[in-house]
Amino acid sequence: MNTLAYQRYGEGEPLVVMHGLFGSADNWRGLARRWSDTCAVYCLDLRNHGRSFHALGMNYSLQAEDLLYWMDSLDLEQVNLLGHSMGGKLAMEFALRYPSRVKKLIVADIAPVAYQHSHAEILQGLRALHAQSPWHERRQADQLLADYVDDVQTRLFLLTNLVRAEEGLVLRIGLEEIDRDYASIIDAPPAMAESLSFTGPTLALRGTRSDYVVEAYLPDFRAAFPQLQVADLDAGHWLHAEQAELFYQQVQQFIKE
């Protein structure tokens, strides 16, 4: 079985960090280095992302098996688990399936519910990037992507997936695999349909300028995670980037409690 790529920082109680769709472990370096003063921080590349393997299937049960295999390979019996967006759904699925392996759960701006398709333009832009690769200048790739994605910050984030190979800049994500099973990514964690629960401490961090965790989602959230605490940050969906200091403090305090 393939194992997930990861980056480790520091020593101590393990904190495992999982990125969102189109992200990677690289996105978390700054926060990971800060948490590493008191924790052993493991930033993962989930399947079809970053330096990890490409494979068909993006459903959260499969990804939870990836995480379980990775933890077993490193003899990590129990961890504090943090996930943003897609990584947050995976974190919830894992905590529900394997509750004894999670000490505390931190979910960043995502709820355990199904969402509507919202990445059509991004996927079209990435397909266009892939079709015309290799690229020799990141600026040219950005110009093409701008035809599909208006927001500059979103484009900068997506372009972190362009990495240098012998022939030039190419996308390292498993775009075909993500595209083929996108429905699983926006779906609810499958364990939610089984009425499972995780009774450990759970923190949901949500952006006040994001609509990913609205009040209507909280009853289902609390039913599956009865110790749920909710903290709001003045941010959008990428709250860990927009409010890095507050995000750091919230997670640090929650782990220490």
d(CA 118, CA 125): 13
Read off the pLDDT of each residue in 141-147 and give the average, rounded to a whole number.
95
- pLDDT tops 90 at residue 177: yes
- Do 144 and 121 meet the contact criterion of CB atoms below 8 Å apart? no
- pLDDT score recorded for residue 47: 98
Ramachandran bin of 21, using left for φ above 0, alpha for ψ from -120 to 50, beta for the remaining angles:
beta
The structural domains of the chain, with segments of one domain joined by +, span 5-114+187-256, 120-179
**What is the bridge-based pairing of β-strands 79-84 and 102-108?**
parallel
- pLDDT score recorded for residue 79: 98
**Chain-wide mean pLDDT for the chain?**
96
Read off the pLDDT of each residue in 69-73 and give the average, rounded to a whole number.
98
Percent of the chain whose pLDDT exceeds 70: 100
- pLDDT tops 90 at residue 1: no
Percent of the chain whose pLDDT exceeds 90: 95
d(CA 148, CA 253): 40
pTM of the predicted structure, to 2 decimals: 0.96
Query: In the structure, what pLDDT confidence band is assigned to residue 149 with cuts at 50, 70 and 90?
Result: very high
- pLDDT tops 90 at residue 114: yes
- Which tokens hold the place of 54? 């490409």
Taking the CB of residue 85, how many other CB atoms lie within 10 A of it? 24
Q: Which CATH architecture has domain 5-114+187-256?
A: 3-Layer(aba) Sandwich (3.40)
pLDDT tens digits for range 88-113: 999 999 999 999 999 999 999 999 99
- pLDDT score recorded for residue 118: 78
- pLDDT tops 90 at residue 55: yes
